[in-house]
Amino acid sequence: MATATSKRTIEVALSTTGLGPDGKPQRIPLGAEGLTRAAPALEPEFEGEHMLINIGPQHPATHGVLRLVLELDGETVVRCIPHVGYLHCGFEKIGEYRQYNQIIPWTDREDYLNSMGNNVAYALGAERLFGIEITPRCTVLRVIAMELSRIISHLVWLGTTCIDIGAFTPFLWSFQERENVYNLLERWTGARLTTSGTRVGGMIADVPEGWTDQLRHFIATFPKTLDQVDRMLNKNAIWVGRTVGLGVMTPEEAMNYGLSGPMLRASGVAYDVRKDFPYLDYETYDFDVPVGTNGDVYDRFLVRQEELRQSVRILDQALQRLPDGPVNVDDPRVILPSKTKATSEMESMIHHFKLVMEGPRPPIGEVYVPIESPKGEKGYYFVSDGTAKPVRWRIRPPSYVNLSAIPKMVEGHLLSDVIAINASIDIVMGEIDR
C-alpha cells in the first residue's frame, strides 16, 4: 500500500494494486469503442417497439425486495421505474411508542449489514439529545464497532456484486472473512447480526478477555484476502469490461441527487462525514479517504476496496490506543446502577426503578447527528418534547437516497448492465423500506 502524504489520497492509493506503468489504473476495454457501449443498431422492423420488463421483487440480483420496471428498446433501457416499500415495517412509527433504549433493537434491523454502526449512530444522536459525554474507552470501542461493521457491509457488497457480475470465488473469500468479524461481534455482544450493542451512555458490555487478541489476528490476516481479491478482479478483463463506464454520475449530479458514501466519492467528491463533521474523535486517526475520478461502477468498487484497507488501519490505531477505564458514563439519568447497588442503596434502587419503569427523559430539543455508514451519510433525527418517548425518530437512509438516482444511472445502458449498476449502489432494502 502506498504511504499517503496527504490526508486524502486520490487515484494513487486507490489503484496501488492495479497500477499500470504510468502510475494510472489500468483499464482494459473489451473491444468496445469508448466506454458507454451503445447498443448495436436494431433491425428496422423492430425499431421503435418497446417492451416492458419487470425485475423483482423476488429476484436474487435485486438484493432484497426491490422491483424495477424497465421499458426496453431492444436491449437498451429507455426508462426505469423503481418500486420500493415491500419491506415497510413502520420503524419510525414504532419508535414513537418506545423509550430511548428500547429503540436500539430496531436500529439493528434496518441496515442489517451495519447493525453495530447503526447502534453507535443511534447512541450518538440520543446522547447529544441528553447532553451526555461518553467515556474515552467507550469512544474507542465504538470506533472499533463502526469499522468492523463497515468491513462486514463492504464484504457482503463485494461478494454479492461478484455473484451478480459472474465471479464466484471472491464471494467465498469475502464471506469467509465476514464470518471472522461476526465471530468477534458474537463474543462481544452475544449476537451476530442483531447486535443491539450500545446503550444511551455506553455499550451493552465491555469486550471480553482476549477479544483484542482475536481482533489483532483478524487485522493481520484480513489484508491478505484483500490482496487476493485485488489480484483476481482489478485487472480482470471480464470484471473491468462489465464495470468501466457504467452508471456514470458527475460530481455535480452526484451532489444534486444527494448521493453519499462510496457512491459520492467515486464521483470525485471527497466528502466523508468522518473527516468533515467528525464524531468519536475520528479526526485524531490517520486514515485516507479514497476518491474516484470517473464515477462509474469500477470506481465504486475501487473506493470500497480501499475503504476496507483504511478500516483496517483505523482498527489498528484504535487497538493501540484503547484506554482502560469504565465503558458506561457515570450518570444515573441513563445508566442502570449495578445489581448490588440497586439492592443495597436506597437512591440506586429509586434510579433503577425509575429507569426501568419510566425510561430516561431527555430535555426538550431536537438533534440530527450524521455518521459515515458503509452506504453513506446516515443520521438519526430526534425530536423530544421532554417525555420518555421521542415525538419523532427519523432515519436518514443513505441507500434510499442513493437508489433514487437509479433511473438516471441505468437509462441508456443495456439490460445486463442494470444488474451491475444496481449492485454498485449497495442497497439494503431493510434500510430503504424501514
Partner 1 sequence: MTTSKEHGTPTFQVVYPGQPGDAPATLRNIAHRGGAMNPSVDALRATFGAAILRSEVVWGDTTVYVERAKVAEICAWLQGDPSQSYEYLVDVTAVEYRDAVRAIEVVWHLRSLKFRRFLRLKAELPKDGKTPLAVPSVWAVWKGADWLERECFDMFGIRFEGHPDLRRILMWEQYKEGYPLRKDFPMRGRFSRSEQLKQALAANPEARYSMEELSISDAFEDLPTDMRSRLLGGEKTGE
Interaction residues for partner 1, span 222-251 (CB under 8 A): 244-245, 248, 250-251
**By CB under 8 A, residue 337 contacts partner 1:** no
Among 68, 63, 55, 88, smallest CA distance to 156 is for 63
Query: Which one of residues 105, 136, 258, 412 is an interface residue with partner 1 (CB under 8 A)?
Result: 258
CB 150 within 8 A of CB 114: yes
Annotate each residue in 344-363 with x if it binds partner 1 (CB under 8 A) or - if it does not, as one string: -------------------x
Within 8 A by CB and 6+ apart from 48, the residues are: 73
Judged by CB under 8 A, does residue 79 bind partner 1? yes
User: Of 12-31, which residues contact partner 1 (CB under 8 A)?
Assistant: 24, 27, 29
How many angstroms separate the CA atoms of 406 and 418, rounded? 9
Q: Which spans in 131-189 are helix H?
A: 136-165, 169-189
Residue 280 is a binding residue for partner 1 (CB under 8 A): yes
Q: Is 58 in the site for partner 1 (CB under 8 A)?
A: no
Exposure pattern of 34-67 as b/e (b: 16+ CB <10 Å)?
Answer: eeebebeeeeeeeeeeeeeeebbbeeebbbbbbb
Residue closer to partner 1 by CB (options 54, 176) is: 54
Residue 321 interacts with partner 1 (CB under 8 A): yes or no: no
**204 in contact with partner 1 (CB under 8 A):** no
The piece of 81-89, 107-115, 167-175, 345-353 that touches partner 1 (CB under 8 A) is 81-89
Nearer to partner 1, 166 or 363 (CB): 363
Contact status: 341 vs partner 1 (CB under 8 A): no
Q: Which of 200, 203, 183 lies closest to 192, judged by CA?
A: 183
Residues 6+ apart with CB under 8 A from 42: 73, 74
* 367 sits near partner 1 (criterion: CB under 8 A): yes
From CA 19, how far away is CA 26, in angstroms rounded? Answer: 6
Please list every residue from 383 through 402 that binds partner 1, using CB under 8 A.
Answer: 383, 385, 387, 391-392, 394, 396, 400-401
Q: Which residues contact 46 (CB under 8 A, 6 or more apart)?
A: 74
CA 199 and chain centroid, separation: 21
Q: How far is the CB of 33 from partner 1 (least distance, A)?
A: 9
Q: How far is the CB of 240 from partner 1 (least distance, A)?
A: 10
Tell me the number of residues near partner 1 by CB under 8 A. 81
Q: Would you say 195 or 402 has its CB closer to partner 1?
A: 402
Place of cell 424501514: 434
277 binds partner 1 (CB under 8 A): yes
84 binds partner 1 (CB under 8 A): yes
**Is 59 strand, coil or helix?**
strand
Least distance CB 174 / partner 1 (angstroms): 27
The whole-angstrom separation of Cα 224 and Cα 219 is 10
Give the three-class secondary structure for 188: helix
Q: Would you say 32 or 356 has its CB closer to partner 1?
A: 32
Footprint of partner 1 on 100-159 (CB under 8 A): 128-129, 131, 133
Contact call for residue 405 and partner 1 (CB under 8 A): yes
Cell numbers for 248, please give them.
456514470
94 in contact with partner 1 (CB under 8 A) = yes
